[in-house]
């Protein structure tokens, strides 16, 4: 069983719903979830919020948060996750914002940096990770690794609810 099947099965068993807010993964996380037959029973919505304007106007990320911490920050990821959770009323929301590359990295946020937010009814959590494990700046691989990690962590959150 792959990670997305595990997540969908866990959500179904627990009678939970999930929503996503994606920037750097560009809808891949939502696609991977909806690739699973029966995902419609657990997947509420996915917002592809590539621009800061959409993060602000649709997801409710504060402009001040982006101005102070940038869009590649755990603070932005948390606000994205909480925003999509509120829009969808999902039990679990996952967000991604980062630098998929191969360009755009900075010293603080090199290529492969992804900030991931998780929101549940009991709180908001975030992590900052680098998925450019091999240093090749492979955009597709960074996006795939990010999405798979999110699916695995979302299943762990679902198990704990």
Which residues form the domain of 95? 3-160
Provide the 3-class DSSP secondary structure of residue 22: strand
pLDDT at 19 over 90: yes
User: Averaged over 18-45, what is the pLDDT?
Assistant: 98
pLDDT at 50 over 90: yes
pLDDT tier, 1 (very low <50, low <70, confident <90, very high otherwise):
confident
User: What is the Cα–Cα distance from 152 to 137, expressed in whole angstroms?
Assistant: 23
Phi then psi for 150, rounded to 5 degrees? Answer: -60, -40
- pTM, two decimals, is 0.97
pLDDT at 49 over 90: yes
User: Averaged over 30-47, what is the pLDDT?
Assistant: 98
pLDDT digits (tens, 9 = 90+) for 102-139: 999 999 999 999 999 999 999 999 999 999 988 888 99
User: Averaged over 2-8, what is the pLDDT?
Assistant: 97
Q: Please compute Rg for the chain using Cα positions.
A: 15
CB 96 within 8 A of CB 114: yes
> What local confidence, expressed as pLDDT, does residue 133 receive?
84
Give the CATH number of the domain where residue 147 resides.
3.90.950.20
Query: Would you say how long the chain is, in residues?
Result: 161
User: Averaged over 56-84, what is the pLDDT?
Assistant: 98
> What local confidence, expressed as pLDDT, does residue 137 receive?
87
Question: pLDDT over 90 for what percent of the chain?
Answer: 96
> What local confidence, expressed as pLDDT, does residue 44 receive?
98
Number of domain units in the chain: 1
User: Averaged over 147-161, what is the pLDDT?
Assistant: 96
Taking alpha carbons only, the member of 5, 16, 74, 81 closest to residue 47 is: 81
């Amino acid at each position: 069983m792959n990670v997305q099947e595990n997540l969908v099965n866990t959500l179904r068993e627990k009678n939970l719903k999930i929503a996503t807010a994606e920037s750097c993964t560009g809808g891949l996380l939502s696609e991977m979830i909806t690739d699973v037959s029966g995902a419609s029973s657990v997947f509420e919505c996915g917002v592809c919020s590539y621009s800061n304007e959409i993060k602000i106007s649709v997801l409710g990320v504060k402009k001040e948060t982006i101005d102070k911490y940038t869009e590649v920050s755990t603070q932005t990821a948390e606000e994205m996750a909480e925003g999509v959770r509120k829009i969808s009323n999902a039990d679990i929301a996952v967000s991604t914002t980062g630098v998929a590359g191969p360009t755009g990295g900075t010293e603080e946020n090199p290529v492969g940096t992804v900030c991931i937010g998780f929101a549940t009814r009991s709180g908001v959590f975030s992590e900052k990770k680098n998925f450019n494990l091999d240093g090749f700046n492979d955009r597709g691989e960074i996006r795939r690794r990010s999405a798979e990690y999110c699916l695995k962590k979302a299943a762990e959150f679902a198990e704990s609810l």
